[in-house]
Amino acid sequence: MGKARNLGRAAQDTSASGTGGFDLPSGTTAQRPSSPTAGEIRYNTTNLEMEAYINGAWQGLTSQTAGTYSVDYLIVAGGGAGGGPIGTGGYASAGGGAGGLLQGITSVSKSTAYSLVIGAGGAAAGYAGNNSTGLSLTAIAGGAGGPNNGASTRDGGSGGGAGDPAGTGGQPAGSGTTGQGYAGGSPPGGQGTSAGGGGAGAAGSGAQGGVGINWQSLGNFYAGGGSGTNGGSTVGGGQGGGGTGSAFASSTAGTANTGGGGGGSYGGSGSQTGKLGGSGIIIIRYIGAQKGTGGTVTSAGGYTYHTFTSSGTFTA
């Protein structure tokens, strides 16, 4: 028997019989109706599933029936600290690399508990950050900035910048992790110069820390590299929580819960060191009303957000 068509609207229940099917409207996600009504149903050719407009948002019916649903995720590791102690002679330590950043879409199973671990930032000058884990994924810790003695910087989610032992420039920087972040920079040379750490969106460039990523274009940047120093001048950190590089004690740490790298420092006293890295963060969001539990729960733009600034459990 063919497909049932043109059933119309009845005052009572509407029913159909036969072994065929209905022709549903279909189209891509971008072609969804601009002013849908509650209960409206269509076939989404982007997601390859039927969807309905429920509670003010489009929700996939296939995933609902299967006991799973899709979530967007952001997982950021802890950023690396700026470089180790400054020796005599006015040399400079470098900015720390940002924590690795992972973003994407995955499916979660209803009523399943997912353990999430938020990585701390580098806890002292010259220390890497810590990994963040969740949803079977691992964001790699940011590499520490290089000390002024030219010792090798640490690789990481994003690499730490290179220190400069003699103002000559050219020292190698730490490498980033593919798909998570970029390498640190190499110092341009000159008294009191050191390089910025890499960010999730760009490598360190000279003393400047690499920029982070504006997740989902919401205006919040994450995983910016810490900046190094430029002859004692203050250099702002990479957008996304990267610490400022500056002379003596004026440099700053990476911002908490951004994965930003710590700033480097410059000065003639052995007491001056790079600053700490910023801790990581995990954000899970999905379309429609709240389904899961865990973290700080907010709603905006038709999405529900679960934000974790410390380790915890997301129950789908």
Give domain limits for the chain. Answer: 26-66, 70-105+115-286+306-316
**What phi, psi does 272 have (nearest 5°)?**
-90, 125
pTM of the model: 0.79
What tens digit of pLDDT does each residue of 50-104 get?
Answer: 788 876 778 776 654 468 999 999 999 999 999 876 555 556 889 999 999 999 9
Residue 12 CB partners (closer than 8 Å, separation 6+):
none
The residue that leads in pLDDT, 18 or 275, is 275
What tens digit of pLDDT does each residue of 102-137 get?
Answer: 999 999 999 999 999 999 999 998 899 999 999 999
Give the model's pLDDT for residue 85: 66
Give the model's pLDDT for residue 250: 87
The residue that leads in pLDDT, 30 or 240, is 240
> By mean pLDDT, which of 132-136, 234-238, 273-277, 298-302 is the weakest?
273-277
Average pLDDT of span 199-228: 97
Nearest to 243 by CA among 259, 230, 262: 262
Which residue is it, tokens 């120093």? 229
pLDDT at 282 over 60: yes
Which two three-digit tokens encode residue 290? 């709240």
